[in-house]
Structure 1
Amino acid sequence: MIYGMILAGGNGSRMGNTHLPKQFLTLDDTPILIHTIEKFLLNQKLDAILILVPEKWLNYTGDIIKKYIGGMDKIKLVKGGNTRNETIMSGIAYIENTFGSTDEDIIVTHDSVRPFLTHRIIEDNINAALEFGACDTVIEAIDTIVESKNNETITDIPIREKMYQGQTPQSFNIKTLKNAYESLNEEERDILSDAAKICLLRGHTVKLVKGEVYNIKITTPYDLKVAEAIIKDSTYAERDPEEVATV
């Protein structure tokens, strides 16, 4: 089976003075999370869509989904963990307990505050995860990347042509990711926050999937302004929702 997994555990600390986590802030009068869920609902290959949220926001999330989307048949609300990886593992545990598991099951994990992903990106993630067992959505780095190990002086400037900026979705064969995560010791679990890197360090191939420049993550007030500009762009707004999803 193929599962969507939308990670909505952020508290929005970089968004400034707001009473709601960033995923619940409105974009074009609709919560950002709802925009993201709608993109997943357009993909018919997904057997279920899990929304991972902190326990105290479960009821609120259910309320806004019912208000803006209606039915919950394909959508499952799941309590997240304290970290990104713990949240993903919580989603995997829910899948195993609710649906069972096979060696072919995959998950498409995505940030709740990246509402501009496309149908093509989701499809490419599904295909790459089925073939390679793990994949990461990226775009080519436009700016030069500078490394500083002491946060004061440059220690390296990698060749830009080999650098990419990570986005989401990141998608995985469930058993591949779970086995890789369970092989980590406590120190590694504290350090490694990226699921694709966990797979890479355990010797698994991680396929690159082409992202889009506008597949932005909304984490600051500036990002929210950019997102409002994107969604109000006439060429975007005039399209049918299914056409937008297939860009």
Structure 2
Amino acid sequence: MIYAEILAGGRGSRMGNTDMPKQFLLIGSRPIIIHTLERFLLNDRINKIIVVTPREWIQHTIDLIKKYIPLDKQEYIEVCKGGSDRNESIMSGIRHIQNNFGINDDDIIITHDAVRPFITHRIINDNIDMAIDYGATDTVIPAFDTIVESIDNNFINSIPIRNHMYQGQTPQTFKIKKIVELYNSLNGEEKVLLTDAAKIFAIKGEMVKLVDGERFNIKITTPYDLKLANALLQGDKNDK
């Protein structure tokens, strides 16, 4: 089975004065999360989509799905409660899969930010293919700007070679049994170091295959991003 897990646990603190998490804000006439779900529903390789969201927003998420997603597609989507952080939310979705469907050796989970609505069919398929072959993937784009490291946020500590640097996006895709095994083997100090799921594999010395992303596969986290997303959406409409 191939599962897509849509991570909709963000509270949207960088979005400014809004009364709801950023994934529920509109681009065009529909919520961001609906645009994202529609991209995954178009891929017939995906068997089930799990949306992970804060407990207090579960019913709102369900209501949006009922309002915007065609009835015959709603059966592919399930909503469950997220965890205290990103990786705990991923594991919460996996526990939902375990409890409701069981987990087989070849099952794969595609984890994706709800606020990256411009994910392409090609990126999704590349993630699936590479996860089947390698067990773990991370979607990235080359770092076009020079990366500067500053530990104290005041002075430069190092300037890494730009040709070796990439900017991480999502999806990140994994064989489910492997990510569960590695996550459960982490100690408390290792869990503190985690910034995303791919780092679980990196900490344990496991290989993660790079998948080419796209510069327009943006994450909507600020008011500027929201304006850019609306412009991208309008551009898509004009191209059709």
Mapped partners of 1:108, 1:228: distance in 2: 25
CA deviation digits over 1:21-40, x for unaligned, max 9?
A: 00000000100000000000
Q: Is 1:16 aligned to 2:10, yes or no?
A: no
Mapped partners of 2:200, 2:190: distance in 1: 9
Mapped partners of 1:210, 1:79: distance in 2: 30
TM-score by length of 2: 0.97
Name 2:164's counterpart in structure 1.
Answer: 162
* Misfit runs of 4+, over 2 Å: none
Mapped partners of 1:104, 1:195: distance in 2: 19
Mapped partners of 2:238, 2:14: distance in 1: 32
Deviation at residue 239 of structure 1 after TM alignment: 5.6
5+ residue gaps, structure 2: none
Deviation at residue 70 of structure 1 after TM alignment: 3.2
Q: Is 1:178 aligned to 2:180, yes or no?
A: yes
Mapped partners of 2:115, 2:159: distance in 1: 30
Deviation at residue 238 of structure 1 after TM alignment: 4.5
Q: Is 1:67 aligned to 2:67, yes or no?
A: yes
Percent identical across equivalent pairs? 58
Name 2:58's counterpart in structure 1.
Answer: 58
| RMSD of Structure 2 on Structure 1 (CA) | 0.9
- Check conservation: 2:190, 2:203, Cα contact below 8 A: no
Which segment drifts farther, 155-164 or 193-202?
193-202
Within 5 A, what are the aligned runs for 1:1-247?
A: 1-71=1-71, 72-233=74-235, 236-238=236-238
- The SS at the match of 2:88 is helix
Mapped partners of 1:238, 1:173: distance in 2: 38
CA deviation digits over 1:2-47, x for unaligned, max 9?
A: 0000000000000000001000000001000000000000000001
- The SS at the match of 1:108 is strand
- The SS at the match of 1:20 is coil
Mapped partners of 2:128, 2:237: distance in 1: 27
5+ residue gaps, structure 1: 241-247
Mapped partners of 1:146, 1:133: distance in 2: 31
Name the amino acid aligned to 1:200.
A
- The SS at the match of 1:97 is helix
Deviation at residue 228 of structure 1 after TM alignment: 0.7
Name the amino acid aligned to 2:135.
G
